[in-house]
Amino acid sequence: MKELSGQTGEGRWQRWIIVAACCLSPWAALANPVMLDPGSLLAFAIVAFWAFVVEAGIVALILTFCGLQPLRIFMIYFVIKAVVFLFLFQPLLERDWSIPFLEFLVVGINALAIKILTGLETFQSNNYRGLSWVAASAISLCGNAASFFVGLIAGHKPWEGG
């Protein structure tokens, strides 16, 4: 007997293994891009890449439950994150803007991007349900928090907070 998701018991376990592997991926990064020593450009690039991967992966996984195509969402959201980080967050951070304000700004821009992407038919599957602004903001916040916690975990001292 098939379950509501349309998957049998074995397929369901495979999905949970993939989700668990994606949730454990923060341990592959090395540090938080904001708290990184600016002298190491290579380390910065590696950390930023993995933070983008984790954030885009979490956003894509959550949006899958709304009826969107996860691979397409992952790829375009990864590019959007890189552009926002390189051309907005990083330049404003260098001008000594407050990090909490910048994070709030990035969450808002990401929520706008999520809302726009979910409205495009090319990213929707047959069971697309729609997405409210509140849901888009919450998903953006989850992704942003995950990328921040990647840095804390990768810093090997998350209890110190920096």
Question: What pLDDT digit, counting tens, does each position of 108-124 carry?
Answer: 999 999 999 999 999 99
Q: Which domain holds residue 76?
A: 9-154
Identify whether 125 is part of a domain.
yes
Identify whether 26 is part of a domain.
yes
pTM: 0.71
**Residue among 73, 78, 19, 74 at smallest CA distance from 51:** 78
pLDDT at 158 over 90: no
Identify whether 36 is part of a domain.
yes
Q: Which two tokens stand for residue 3?
A: 């379950």
Identify whether 159 is part of a domain.
no
Number of domains in the chain: 1
Q: Are 149 and 26 in contact (CB under 8 A)?
A: yes
Average pLDDT over residues 17-29: 57
Identify whether 34 is part of a domain.
yes
The predicted structure's pLDDT at residue 40:
67
